[in-house]
Structure 1
Amino acid sequence: MFLDIFSEMQRAQRWTSASEAIVIRNALEQAKIADDLGYNCWWSVEHHGAGEFSLSSTPEMFNVALAMSTNRLRIGHSGVLTPFQINHPIRVAERAAFVDVLSDGRLEMGLARSSVCEWDTFGVPKEDTQPQFDELTRMLPKMWSDESFSWESNVISVPSVSIVPKPVQKFPRIWCMGMSEEGARTAGRLGVGFIGTTVMEPVAKTLKLMKVFAEGGQRREEEVAAPNDGFGLFTFVHCAASRQAAIDSRAAEAAMWYVNAAPGVLKFPRDRLLAAIRSEAIPGGQSWRQASVEGEADPACDPNDPHPVIRQLNRQYLGMAIDPEEAYEAITHVDSVIIGDAEACYDKILKFKEAGVERLLCLQQFGQLSHEQVCSSIRRVGEEILPYITTAEASPQRYPNRGL
């Protein structure tokens, strides 16, 4: 299994232009540390109008800086927003190839339909998003390889044009960034890899995506130029020096800040996300993120909810004080959230590897965690966990440094 890093570039407090610059520069420093320690890939999201939730509005620019500042770390775009009103296919192919050239063939190409907030911002009809996503996955390999490219379909028409530069890799791997079973099934059908998310959902639930992805692959379209069978998941990771240090870091609350902030920024109903955390089915099989917030009010926010994680989430959402140890204890029972000392983190990461996850995208910079805390976690995972997890052989069932 590969350990990657997933980056939102966020800051859990009001920021100024000066603090924006600090967050961006810190991210580059964190990536350099990851490069030195042997992490596999750095993934940068694309969000627009997300405020403190994500400064990563032009990841292709950051990826250029990353290409010029690192030596072996692969460079993931997670992902390019595929509606043509946001990113035209030709521009997508050109920018991606340019990054691949500057990085000497290290690009990983993630694609995303985006969500309600971006659809509203750019005036994208929801019904156009899936056909345009599908079409772009078919177009990219030809745009990267054909000397003269043209395309004619009921989705888009492109007259004959020379698209340059061409990537160093013949075909950079294409990934679908998604959350729903339908997204995983579509990725399998289109012959691209799939990277899903946990966001405090149980591992068993998220691993259903793996099964659905494989089912989609059995109905793969013909003539897929560059098939990718890879499967990965994104989750929160913070590795501290000890259990007490993990509590004191307030990383559990930082993860809860992310969960509480996401609905307002990305414009989806908070109750859908809470239902996913409870492992309840969402009507229509939608991803909680693709539901529209319009006409749906959040339910009563119960600070005494019987579910321990949702109880803490609701208290934070209401502005109530949270006990750091209580928040940490609630999170420890969520097997997909990796917060603790190296032993606790190893045990949870091992569960993903044993389930067959190829890539674990570790979100380590989230909420109010300081740059120093983030760098410390990146180093600790890289030095104390990564060597035992990324080996092709079976990893030890018990943390090798247990008791040291």
Structure 2
Amino acid sequence: MKFGIFIDLQLPRPWQEGDEARLLKEALEQVELADRIGIDYVWVQEHHFLEEYSHSSAPEVFLAACSQRTKNIRLGHGIAVMSPNFNHPARIAERLATLDLISDGRVEWGTGESGSRIELEAFGVDFVDKRPMWAEALRETAKMLCMEPYPGFQGKYFSMPHRNLVPKPLQKPHPPIWAACSNRDSLKLAAQLGVGALTFAFVNAEEAKFWVEEYYETFRSECKPIGQAVNPNLAMLTGFMCHEDPDRAMQLGQEGAQFFAFGLGHYWRDGTHVPGQTDLWDAFKKKPASTEQQIERNRKKAGMRGIGSPEQLIENFRALETAGVDQLILLQQSGKYSHEAICASMELFGKEVLPQFKEREAKRQVEKQEALAPLIAEIEQNIPPLEPVQDIPAVEAYPLIWGKMGGETNPGVPDRRPGMAALWQMQVGGKKGKKK
């Protein structure tokens, strides 16, 4: 089983000047540490306006910084919101390709729809349209990354003329595609479309086994790829805090994991939010304190299985590995976890826990690839070929068009044709100096 870390950039109130800069710098240090100890992936969220819960609104910028500080860790959009109202498909493609090139081919393309009212309505997205928006944009973005030129598209949610997108990614035909999954229906859809499942849900080993079996059975029997290649993988999320003393691990880790769940509920299920005024941390802290019995029950919850001693984590994670989970994503930064506690937890994990899985993972990957290779070859062979564009129309510069129109074509409309001097000034950014 592979391992990843999860970057949500949580910043509970009260805030002070410099807190966001500190948060970003500490998160980058955590990614560097993850790379050094051998963690396989970093997943960076895209969220907007989710105060305290997630200040990760520009993941492409954060991942670009990560690419220059790391050598091996895979750089995952976890996820990029695919709605054209949030991100035009061509811009998604350009960012992915550029990041893939500067990282030497380490990009993982996680995709999603967004789901909170705070985000969707700010970008003019109707809740019922978010799924078809995602599918339309995902399909066309994948084509843009590998067609030369892209033939253009007239769709329901976005349209654009033929263009040749540059640059193209290092990974061919495009980086591995994933989809955010929060329930069984979205899990099955990911399998049907041939993309990896980023299951941002806390499940125990028994549930995980069922999810894994359902995902791979659906992939085998119903897969019709939405991209130009398939990515059969399933990742799951867990709270995380590793400490030699299991009680201390729970003291350090429980509150952050609970705040993560509280914020999720606030923005997606049952919260009322006043932008710029609601204090999420204060509301969380006003909840009744956990009793000893509740704390003991919390230890057994699926989301807490990554909180404990190295021995406990090895036992809990082996159960998920046996269930067939391909990757476990560690929620290492949430609530008010201190940077020092996070780094100490990761260091201990890298020393005591990770080596227990590394050797088996190499063998498991070989076995998985051998088992799935014939099926993947058959599925990808049935992907409709991308027909080359015939009779590519020329795109004339504006002055050529205006010239053919005779310059001033309508009364009251000034001649917009720039002269050669004006064109030269546009290129060099200034006026040519006069000789004295």
Is the pair's TM-score, using the shorter chain for normalization, greater than 0.5? yes
Query: Structure 1 residue 363 and structure 2 residue 331: aligned?
Result: yes
Q: Which residue of 1 aligns with 2:146?
A: 145
Could you tell me how far apart the structure 1 residues matched to 2:194 and 2:152 are?
Answer: 20
The one-letter code sitting in structure 2 at the alignment partner of 1:189 is Q
Would the alpha carbon gap of residues 197 and 22 (structure 1) be closer, same or farther in structure 2, given more than 3 Å must change?
Answer: same
Q: CA deviation at 1:151?
A: 3.6
Q: Is the 8 A contact 1:197 1:206 kept in 2?
A: no
Would the alpha carbon gap of residues 83 and 206 (structure 1) be closer, same or farther in structure 2, given more than 3 Å must change?
Answer: farther
In structure 2, the residue corresponding to 1:5 is in which secondary structure?
strand
Query: Structure 1 residue 185 and structure 2 residue 188: aligned?
Result: yes
Give the TM-score taking structure 1 as reference length. 0.81
The one-letter code sitting in structure 2 at the alignment partner of 1:368 is K
Q: Which residue of 2 aligns with 1:165?
A: 167
Could you tell me how far apart the structure 1 residues matched to 2:127 and 2:251 are?
Answer: 43
The one-letter code sitting in structure 2 at the alignment partner of 1:91 is R
Could you tell me how far apart the structure 2 residues matched to 1:263 and 1:3 are?
Answer: 26
Greater CA radius of gyration, 1 or 2?
A: 2
Query: Structure 1 residue 383 and structure 2 residue 351: aligned?
Result: yes
* Correspondence for 1:245 among 229, 248, 260: 248
In structure 2, the residue corresponding to 1:235 is in which secondary structure?
strand
Query: Structure 1 residue 120 and structure 2 residue 88: aligned?
Result: no
Could you tell me how far apart the structure 2 residues matched to 1:390 and 1:140 are?
Answer: 34
Q: Which residue of 2 aligns with 1:101?
A: 101
Q: CA deviation at 1:328?
A: 4.1
In structure 2, the residue corresponding to 1:95 is in which secondary structure?
helix
Q: CA deviation at 1:207?
A: 4.5
Alignment of 1:167-316 (within 5 A): 167-170=169-172, 171-199=174-202, 201-217=203-219, 218-221=221-224, 224-249=227-252, 251-264=253-266, 266-269=267-270
Could you tell me how far apart the structure 2 residues matched to 1:163 and 1:321 are?
Answer: 54
Q: CA deviation at 1:62?
A: 0.2
Could you tell me how far apart the structure 2 residues matched to 1:166 and 1:267 are?
Answer: 36
Q: Is the 8 A contact 1:187 1:216 kept in 2?
A: no
The one-letter code sitting in structure 2 at the alignment partner of 1:135 is E
Q: What's the Cα RMSD here?
A: 2.3
Q: Which residue of 1 aligns with 2:3?
A: 3
Could you tell me how far apart the structure 1 residues matched to 2:113 and 2:239 are?
Answer: 22
Give the TM-score taking structure 2 as reference length. 0.75
Deviations 1:245-276 (A, max 9, x none): 21442x11221121112222x23237xxxxxx
Would the alpha carbon gap of residues 316 and 17 (structure 1) be closer, same or farther in structure 2, given more than 3 Å must change?
Answer: closer
Q: Which residue of 1 aligns with 2:314?
A: 346
Q: CA deviation at 1:336?
A: 4.2
In structure 1, the residue corresponding to 2:104 is in which secondary structure?
coil
Q: Which residue of 2 aligns with 1:372?
A: 340
Deviations 1:336-356 (A, max 9, x none): 421111111111111111100
Q: Which residue of 2 aligns with 1:285?
A: none
- Aligned-residue sequence identity (percent) comes to 30
Stretches of structure 1 lacking an aligned partner (at least 5 in a row):
271-292, 295-314, 396-404
Q: CA deviation at 1:211?
A: 3.4
Q: Which residue of 2 aligns with 1:299?
A: none
Which structure exhibits the higher relative contact order, with contacts defined as CA atoms closer than 8 Å and separated by 6 or more residues? 1
Alignment of 1:9-28 (within 5 A): 9-28=9-28
Deviations 1:292-326 (A, max 9, x none): x89xxxxxxxxxxxxxxxxxxxx966433445x65
Q: Which residue of 1 aligns with 2:372?
A: none
Q: CA deviation at 1:187?
A: 1.0
In structure 2, the residue corresponding to 1:166 is in which secondary structure?
coil
Alignment of 1:77-88 (within 5 A): 77-88=77-88
Could you tell me how far apart the structure 2 residues matched to 1:114 and 1:14 are?
Answer: 26
Deviations 1:116-142 (A, max 9, x none): 231122120122211121123322332
The one-letter code sitting in structure 2 at the alignment partner of 1:329 is E
Q: CA deviation at 1:239?
A: 0.5
Deviations 1:134-171 (A, max 9, x none): 12332233211112112435434321101111111112
Q: Is the 8 A contact 2:45 2:78 kept in 1?
A: yes
Could you tell me how far apart the structure 1 residues matched to 2:78 and 2:33 are?
Answer: 20
Would the alpha carbon gap of residues 132 and 151 (structure 1) be closer, same or farther in structure 2, given more than 3 Å must change?
Answer: farther
Could you tell me how far apart the structure 1 residues matched to 2:199 and 2:355 are?
Answer: 24
The one-letter code sitting in structure 2 at the alignment partner of 1:142 is K
Could you tell me how far apart the structure 2 residues matched to 1:95 and 1:224 are?
Answer: 17
Q: CA deviation at 1:327?
A: 5.3
Corresponding residue pairs, total = 349
Alignment of 1:24-43 (within 5 A): 24-43=24-43
Deviations 1:350-391 (A, max 9, x none): 111110000111111111110000001111111111111132
Could you tell me how far apart the structure 2 residues matched to 1:248 and 1:234 are?
Answer: 20
Could you tell me how far apart the structure 2 residues matched to 1:267 and 1:332 are?
Answer: 25
Could you tell me how far apart the structure 2 residues matched to 1:235 and 1:223 are?
Answer: 28
Could you tell me how far apart the structure 2 residues matched to 1:18 and 1:150 are?
Answer: 46
Q: Is the 8 A contact 1:110 1:177 kept in 2?
A: yes
Q: Is the 8 A contact 1:184 1:216 kept in 2?
A: no
The one-letter code sitting in structure 1 at the alignment partner of 2:199 is G
In structure 2, the residue corresponding to 1:365 is in which secondary structure?
coil
In structure 1, the residue corresponding to 2:80 is in which secondary structure?
strand
Q: CA deviation at 1:60?
A: 0.4
Query: Structure 1 residue 319 and structure 2 residue 287: aligned?
Result: yes
Would the alpha carbon gap of residues 221 and 319 (structure 1) be closer, same or farther in structure 2, given more than 3 Å must change?
Answer: closer
Q: Is the 8 A contact 2:234 2:327 kept in 1?
A: yes
Q: Is the 8 A contact 1:67 1:103 kept in 2?
A: yes
Could you tell me how far apart the structure 2 residues matched to 1:84 and 1:393 are?
Answer: 38
The one-letter code sitting in structure 2 at the alignment partner of 1:97 is A
Task: Choose 155-164 or 348-357, whichever is displaced more.
Answer: 155-164
Q: Which residue of 1 aligns with 2:55?
A: 55
The one-letter code sitting in structure 1 at the alignment partner of 2:69 is S
